[in-house]
Chains A and B, each alone.
Chain A
Amino acid sequence: DAGVIQSPRHEVTEMGQEVTLRCKPISGHDYLFWYRQTMMRGLELLIYFNNNVPIDDSGMPEDRFSAKMPNASFSTLKIQPSEPRDSAVYFCASSLVRGGDFEQFFGPGTRLTVL
């Protein structure tokens, strides 16, 4: 299995621009998660989906952030407009809830720099 795939791996953009991060979960997994990691705040859950439906978006910092999951194999996280404080590493993770097991498997992350 290829694992969770994220693109791009690095993104540098200017303040005010739209940024779209992409994720392909592990095939067959029914949960998908978006996290943000910074030195100050550590790893924070932004939003997660179950069977393509958003379940909890309480971690999304503000209306500039939006996430979609149009099908089981693809999700996007969009920031519009971007601001320098959005600079962070964004991780996508997926899991399969089976019996009592539900460990999450993370992608390699997208390092976002907003100038």
Chain B
Amino acid sequence: RKEVEQDPGPFNVPEGATVAFNCTYSNSASQSFFWYRQDCRKEPKLLMSVYSSGNEDGRFTAQLNRASQYISLLIRDSKLSDSATYLCVVNSWTNAGKSTFGDGTTLTVKP
């Protein structure tokens, strides 16, 4: 089983739709969680950190469920510019401080 698993998609949604991605992790000692966004042929960019209490940034909401060991990302009112690959990242201080990247979920928002 992979340490961090994501549904690769692709998710194809119309503009204005709400879409959600999940990411599961296997290391229960994981402590830091992030969502990154990677556009085609570009570097990954930090989208948001994920906190236990959940956090929101505009149209984006991230949640953490430690009991079930998953994090989620919800995008409301999708825009064409949201089309990208979304990477889930999990960091465990017991894993020599290494972060593990998921393989990404591809989102395409269509007009």
Question: Do A and B interact with each other, yes or no?
Answer: no
